[in-house]
Amino acid sequence: MHPHPVGHPGTPDHAVIPLPLRTEALPDGDAFVLDAATGLDAGPGTEDTAHWLRTTLGAATALPLPPHHDGCRGRIRLRTDPDLARRLGPEGYRLTVDGSLLAIDGGGPAGVFWGAQTLRQLLATDTADVFRRAPTTPDTRARSLPPLRIEDTPRFGWRGMMLDVARHFTPKDGVLRWIDLLAAHKLNVLHLHLTDDQGWRVPIDRHPELTRTGGWRARTKLGHRASPLWSDIPHGGHYTKDDLREIVAYAARHHITVVPEVDIPGHSQAAIAAYPELGNTDVIDTTSLSVWDTWGVNPNVLAPTDNAVRFYEEVLEEVLELFPSRYVHLGGDECPKDQWKASDTAQKRIAELGVDGEDGLQSWFLGHFARWLADRGRCLIGWDEILEGGLPEGAAVSSWRGCAGGVAAARAGHDVVMCPEQQVYLDHRQDAGANEPVPIGFVRTLEDVYRFEPVPDALTDAEAERVLGTQANVWTEVMDSQERRDYQVFPRLVALAEVAWSRLPAPPDRDYQEFTRRMTAHYPRLDALGVAYRPPGGPHPWQKRPGLLGRPIDGPPPNV
């Protein structure tokens, strides 16, 4: 059987996304043939990647990839290499294809794993069948790779996606699928937004009503909150603790960290519906509240009481057991202060603590948990509102209202994840046309995301060191299904992945055309993975949502 050629032997024209740091053809080298006689030689620390290659590449190709032995013709060799770690860091790798050896050397286990992701893409330049779960033809055909060497390492250590599982729930299988999709793009953080006004998704043994009452709502606003339409189908669901342990372990095996978010003190109506004493009972009858069924910023926030603080310590004790992540996200965004202004209890608390009004109270709330997390070896991260009233010591910031919050935090010596809504909120529409489903927010095209620069010019080099990286945020008010989420997220997440991984020129000089050339090879990979992305020409008829009201924001987005 003739080996199937992949790429153009002798040239580095390979369509790898995100773009590697360096690719060189080896003109004097020989092609590598992947076939039934290829063995896998996995050194210490590379077991995860060996497992992934056998279960993923092996499944797609029906190749056994046995442990390498003398009878093998070709060898895939996986190694960690301390010298490479010094040069390229733990996530860096070198992939060398030459003759009977295909070597993936990583700075650490993660680097080897990212090298394997590159290998799968190299095998999917002309056909993307290696991205499927089973072969499309009965014969196990051989595939050849041109001789080349790639050296690669990520620009940022935090390359993420936030998935809002509170507004619309993504069941466990769907989360595992997201982990596969993130890994395929060398993204390494899955930030799970687990609680909000519209639903509580993480089970807490000591407070079972959080999921029993707070985990579902009777009806749901269809479209933007100004829409007159409702769905009367109850919506809900929550993970079990074992689901979350499985998600965390599956992510870890893919070198992805799951960062949990429990939002305080705003975005808490589902918790208050479950435990009315958590709310501002001297201002409203919190027993009348149910899990919120529409969208927007909600006035029903936690009361600043010792009881509420202790309750959330108990919640977080269980959250920390489930999620080993160093960073724990506590929200802190969009907490209207009206109830605190009207509450005697809150006003007494402000006086007792001697803090500066309601903003000071919010800062006290977050500051308490920043210390509480630090005592347990963890680090609080919150949305940029946590700057108001004073940033808690050691806290990191997710800069979402533009980059200004991130700039201020970085200058004050805090770590920052840049995720401005004007750039990387993937709920925002991706085209100005009338056919975009439930169009909300700014027009943010694939090219716009590609031209996003996570390190603002305003930062000095030392301050820029504080930018841990970037993430796309996937808020799901108007995304009620996997298909809707796929449509909003892809292809734009692919651009975000390249922004986060690759060392691209400054935005005006970024070669978007070259990226779209590689995307022509990448769309078939997304097809093979079963991703219902937005086609470049606009939505398929079944991807449109005629009659569902959005809220487009006109005009160019403000500069960040």
**Would you name the residues annotated as active-site residues?**
334
Radius of gyration of the chain (CA): 24
Partners of 20 in the beta sheet? none
Which of 334, 388 has the CB closer to ligand ACM? 334
Q: Give the residue, chosen from 52, 113, 400, 501, that forms a contact with ligand ACM under the rule CB under 6 A.
A: 400
10 Å CB burial of residue 503 (0-12, 13-18, 19+) is: exposed
Q: Binding residues for ligand ACM, how many (CB under 6 A)? A: 4
Interactions with ligand ACM, residue window 253-312 (CB under 6 A): none
Q: Which is nearer to ligand ACM, 318 or 333 (CB)?
A: 333
Nearer to ligand ACM, 197 or 358 (CB): 197
Q: Which has the closest alpha carbon to 111: 193, 45, 60?
A: 45
- Which residue among 113, 114, 311, 383 contacts ligand ACM (CB under 6 A)? 383
Which positions ≥6 away from 343 have C-beta within 8 Å?
280, 282, 283, 303
339 or 399: CB nearest ligand ACM? 399
Residue with Cβ nearer ligand ACM (113 or 383): 383
Minimum distance from CB of 434 to ligand ACM (Å)? 26
What is the distance between the alpha carbons of residues 448 and 39, in angstroms, rounded to a whole number? 43
| CB contact set of 236 (below 8 Å; sequence gap of 6+) | 169, 199, 215, 216, 217
SS3 of 94, please?
A: strand
Closest of 303, 378, 399 to residue 347, by C-alpha: 303
**In a 3-state reduction of DSSP, which class is residue 447?**
helix
Question: Closest-CB residue for ligand ACM?
Answer: 333
Are 322 and 375 in contact, with CB atoms under 8 Å apart? no
Cβ 6 vs Cβ 145: under 8 Å: yes
Distances from the Cα of 111 to the Cα of 85, 122, 189, 253, 301, angstroms: 9, 16, 15, 13, 43
Q: What angle do CA 88, 152, 409 make, to 5 degrees?
A: 65
Q: Does 180 bind ligand ACM (CB under 6 A)?
A: no
User: What pairs with residue 145 in β-bridges?
Assistant: 32
- Tokens standing for residue 63: 């190749």
Indicate the residue among 4 and 401 with the shorter CB distance to ligand ACM.
401
Amino acid at 529: L
Shortest Å distance, C-beta 181 to ligand ACM:
22
Site for ligand ACM in 334-373 (CB under 6 A): 334
Residues listed for the chain? 560
CB of 382 to ligand ACM, least distance (A): 9
Interatomic CA distance for residues 450 and 385, integer angstroms:
27
- Quick one: tokens of 174? 């769907």
Nearer to ligand ACM, 292 or 400 (CB): 400
Question: Are the C-beta atoms of residues 419 and 426 closer than 8 Å to each other?
Answer: no
Q: Whose CA is closest to 465, among 420, 411, 408, 507?
A: 411
Q: Report the residue number, 364 or 383, with the smaller CB distance to ligand ACM.
A: 383
- For the chain, give me the number of helices (H) and strands (E)? 19, 25
Q: How far is the CB of 372 from ligand ACM (least distance, A)?
A: 22
State which of residues 333, 431, 447, 483 lies at the interface with ligand ACM (CB under 6 A).
333
- Nearer to ligand ACM by Cβ, of 180 and 334: the residue is 334
Q: Min. distance of Cβ 334 from ligand ACM in angstroms?
A: 5
Q: Could you tell me which residues come within 8 angstroms of residue 434 by beta carbon, excluding any fewer than 6 positions away?
A: none
Handedness of CA 221, 223, 227, 228 (dihedral sign): negative
Residues near ligand ACM, by CB under 6 A: 333-334, 383, 400
